Structure 1
Amino acid sequence: MTRICLIQLGSFRLIMLMLRIQMKIQVKTTMSQWTMFLVASSIHQRKQFITKKIMMILLTVKTLCDCI
């Protein structure tokens, strides 16, 4: 019983670490993407970009919930 809990805790920590690394990378890419987004003039591209970002966030949250 305790072993399973420890394994779960270990995998949870690993997931959190991976998420933290992913977030750092995400922030860097997001910054450059936002710059590109501001440069991009067409409304359609902006809508697509925002939709993609929202989908990414929802997917990350869903993955987290599945792992926990």
Structure 2
Amino acid sequence: MISEKISLFAINKNIKIIDIYIKGIIIGKDVILRIINNSGLYVRSITDVTSLPHNGCRKKKKRRV
């Protein structure tokens, strides 16, 4: 539903060319992109800006007895 609202907003503001930035792990990414693409807007680029850890989590210290 959000993709339909975004596409209607863009059409009402006379925006024809868009760039899409996706952040996060979304299950229906392909469905959202398909709805926006079929709405009549020209998609120039699709970029995934999800942040990735560069070194992972810190390990626990060894137990001292």
Q: With structure 1 as the length reference, what TM-score do the two structures score?
A: 0.30
The higher relative CO (CA closer than 8 Å, separation ≥ 6) is in 2
The structure carrying a bigger strand percent of its residues is 2
Q: With structure 2 as the length reference, what TM-score do the two structures score?
A: 0.31
The structure carrying a bigger helix percent of its residues is 1
